[in-house]
Structure 1
């Protein structure tokens, strides 16, 4: 494994001698192997190593034990250690984020503080080749576009430093073999064993099949990632140059485009030009763009109707008026996307359209209603999550065989287009949609007892006209 990593570092010019390096270490096999690798490397390259560990306070005594384990590992090897205990759950609830995104933001904020404190050159992360496969497939399935399809970058700027990922050249199997050879005893995060998160489902069910077909598939995916990124950088530069001539007006919240000029641009550049405009207007929310949003605007440009419009999430509106396309952002009207967020019980979650409340109660009656659910715990595959809809979403509907597209449900209920994109969707741990609050509920198996522990969920809209 060491030879592959050394070769990958040289090929991508990831590291220079005498650097100050911060290594993010959870205590699991990937990051512990990474720390051990750099600990052996530091003598030959005159590196200064700082180990950074975060306790997210999500796994009780287990995460405390991981903290102490990593701290002790560093002490016995004279590695500088920096640890932080962060209240991720409060951060998540305050900002209405998913658990994964809240944990990431807290973690990276800590890493940035360390980079500034030590004037570090690099922040080193332990993502490996199998992580790359999962990421690229997940983004493909979600309908991502552009550079994001290339997956995890090998190197990228991070404040005054760079994030580097030297283990993208090796597989999980390689890392476990390294741990065994070096007699490392990493921690185990039991949450990685469950199918609660999308990545885990890809890891447990899809990755083994890919590896069976090609044990070295991580090498192929990494090459594809690098080629995709190279191509995307080149095509995006061409799109930028084309836009310079085609844009009639550009302001903070509005871009006006010449349609006749735009239609002369090659189609691959048209997609990227629209992507650039949406990135510009969306700003920090640009990562939530999907191919469907780009396609909506392209269809608007090419329609035979001289005057038409379409609404995108978060207040983006595109209006065609004969030879011009006006794409604008109205922040006051913008209704926000919601990333997939764990639905804790009890809790109250604020959405763009109202409040969803959950609680436990003992009940003899079962209620499955669009605005309220009272359902036995054993009939639900917990934990539940809440998010906004995705392209192609379908759900089972009471009284119907099979499933129905959410798009059709919204149309049948006469929900305005801009509200459809931010309507809350409740899913179980398998990703199955069980409730479209205020509109539809899936048929759930119920067990009738005299008294049983139930989950109660209610949805209160801010404006009764919404439902």
Structure 2
């Protein structure tokens, strides 16, 4: 058995010399088998191992006996042991999660905590070939795609490994008998109130008796074939994801470009899933329903919003899809006003919103020598048309401007809508006013009222530099 597992580890490049591996140890047959095999292969693989046990406080006295068993086994084998107790029922209610999802989240948070604190670099879980078959059937009945049908991966993120995925449950039981090990048995595994248990106890035995006695091997073989096909599609979808997903990590906003939705649906759904996973740092909270909700949202009118798990909000902004947090804590609206007297222009830099402004006066400067279209962040104005003050502020209700080249006023709100400026960005855009009239919507438009003409003698130059 050790040779079979060792070969599987080598073939799948699961373990490297010098690895520190944390075994998820429940005390049951599978995890005891895994712990024992890795302990026996320890010198050959040149690794260190430890064990982590999470007491979910779900099974009364049995849960504490499991915990005691785990601690004693680790003492016997001289293996570092880490134990934590969490009331999963309480946690699931507080976080509005199923008990299964709550348990998984808490377990992996616990494992990651140990990895960071104790220097382990990999987590080994004790999934076996029967677990793989049960998972595939379970997902098939719920409705799934290629990713779901590929089942449990032998490794993930070069951190989570499944060294005994090659062993059937019967092989694990045989190993336990031969080694005279006495694992803890979870009685709930034999209760048919859970769908997974019904698959294990009823459906798979029925298929074995009536259709295919090797159904476990068959499903595992199918899983490997699908994983290869799915990996090819995934590699392509990642290229598309990198092309069409724009990330603003400071504001924690992801934007999926509208061009993405012209790609094949098989690619689009994967890109959406990758974006949600990347944004939330969670592999488990999103279903196909959520992905298709976003797909439908892309066809709706701008401004439509849907809410997803993990406090995520998804909005259609003129065909682009914005993924952000529902919390607005990270958005700071600068409602201050800074007024500079005309006589004080050029004496200091002005810091306002996300910009630094530098103002300078060009006396008796011919406008023919100026590049008036130099940049959206460099603008020139007729200084003599300013009576007293230059004012820096953010927008107010009813704000209007006379855009360059026009005679009549236009509402800022209409300009923002026409230029497809996202709602949450509008309050962050600085306005520069001369006296009481808007002269520049920074980065967007200037006013016709203060434009430089052939008759302009004194010119005000303003340079806006965006802060990093």
Tell me the distance in 1 between the aligned counterparts of 2:105 and 2:292. Answer: 31
Gaps of 5+ in 2: 329-468
Alpha carbons of structure 1 residues 220 and 312: separation in structure 2 relative to 1, 3 Å: farther
After superposition, the C-alpha distances for 1:411-464 in whole angstroms (9 at most, x for unaligned) are xxxxxxxxxxxxxxxxxxxxxxxxxxxxxxxxxxxxxxxxxxxxxxxxxxxxxx
The 1-side partners of 2:258 and 2:183 are apart by 58
1:55-75 deviations in Å (ceiling 9; x for gaps): 222222212112222222233
Return the offset for 1:9.
Answer: 1.0
Give the Cα–Cα distance (whole angstroms) in 2 for the partners of residues 149 and 199 of structure 1: 16
2:108 equivalent to 1:108: yes
What is the RMSD computed on CA atoms of the aligned residues? 3.5
Question: Structure 1: how far apart are the matches of 2:149 and 2:292?
Answer: 17
Q: Which structure 2 residues correspond to residues 3-22 of structure 1 after superposition, within 5 A?
A: 3-22=3-22
- Matching residue within 237, 240, 259 for 1:239: 237
> d(CA) in 1 for partners of 2:72 and 2:241?
55
Residue 41 of structure 1: how far off its partner (Å):
1.7
- Note closer, same or farther for the CA distance 1:34–1:234 as it changes in structure 2 (3 Å cut): same
Is the aligned partner of 1:207 residue 2:204?
Answer: yes
The alpha carbon displacement at 1:308 in A equals: 9.2
Distance in 2, matches of 1:20 and 1:284, equals: 24
Q: Is the alpha carbon distance of 1:313 and 1:224 closer, same or farther for their aligned partners in structure 2, counting shifts above 3 Å?
A: farther
Offset from partner CA, 1:76-102 (integer Å, 9 cap, x none): 333333333333333333322222222
Q: 1:319 to 1:188 in 2, by over 3 A?
A: same
Partner of 1:385: none
Counterpart of 1:173 (choices 170, 174, 177) is 170
- Whole-Å separation in 2 of the counterparts to 1:138 and 1:318: 33
Query: Could you tell me the TM-score, scaled by structure 1's length?
Result: 0.59
CA contact (8 A) 1:300 1:308 kept: no
CA apart distance, 1:30: 0.8
Cα distance in 2 for partners of 1:307, 1:333 equals 23
- Gaps (5+ residues) in structure 1? 335-467
Mark the CA change 1:227 to 1:188 in structure 2 (over 3 Å): closer, same or farther.
Answer: same
Q: Does 1:193 align with 2:187?
A: no
Cα deviation, residue 205, structure 1: 2.3
Separation in structure 1 between the aligned mates of residue 53 and residue 324 of structure 2, nearest angstrom: 41
Alignment partners' CA distance in 2, 1:273 and 1:29: 39
Return the index of the structure with the highest Cα Rg: 2
**SS of corresponding position for 1:166:** coil
What is the match of residue 224 of structure 1?
222
Q: Is the 8 A contact 2:125 2:162 kept in 1?
A: yes
Aligned equivalents of 1:112, 1:275: Cα separation in 2: 23
Corresponding residue SS for 1:169: coil
Normalised by the length of structure 2, the TM-score is 0.59
Query: Match of 2:79?
Result: 79
In structure 1, distance between residues paired with 2:213 and 2:188: 25
**In the alignment, what sits opposite 1:353?**
none
Mapped to 2, the partners of 1:45 and 1:267 lie a distance apart of 44
Alignment of 1:38-437 (within 5 A): 38-145=38-145, 147-157=147-157, 162-212=159-209, 213-242=211-240, 253=253, 255=255, 257-258=257-258, 262-263=261-262, 265-276=263-274, 279=277, 283-284=280-281, 287-295=284-292, 312-314=306-308, 325-329=319-323, 332=326
The answer on whether the counterparts of 1:136 and 1:150 sit within 8 Å (CA) in structure 2 is yes
**TM superposition shift of 1:223:** 3.6
Residues 49 and 328 of structure 1, relative CA distance in 2, 3 Å threshold: closer
TM-aligned CA deviation for residue 179 of structure 1: 0.9
Would the aligned equivalents of 2:302 and 2:319 in 1 still touch at CA under 8 Å?
no
Per-residue deviation at 1:119? 1.4
Shift of 1:29: 0.8
The structure-2 alpha-carbon separation of the partners of 1:85 and 1:46, relative to structure 1 and needing over 3 Å to count, comes to same
Partner SS, residue 53 of structure 1: strand
Residue in 1 that maps onto 2:358: none
CA–CA distance in 2 between the matches of 1:181 and 1:326? 60
- Indicate the residue corresponding to 1:29 in structure 2: 29
SS at match of 2:157: strand
Q: 1:209 to 1:150 in 2, by over 3 A?
A: same
Map Cα deviations across residues 7-65 of structure 1 (whole Å, 9 max, x no partner). Answer: 21111011233432222211111111111212222243343232222322222221211
Change (3 A) 1:280 1:7: closer
- Listed one character per residue, the Cα deviations across residues 351-386 of structure 1 (whole Å, up to 9, x for unaligned) are xxxxxxxxxxxxxxxxxxxxxxxxxxxxxxxxxxxx
User: What is the match of residue 347 of structure 1?
Assistant: none
Per-residue deviation at 1:294? 4.5
For 1:273 and 1:236, the matched residues in 2 are separated by 9
Q: Distance in 2 between matches of 1:245 and 1:23?
A: 38
Separation of aligned partners in 2, 1:133 and 1:210: 12
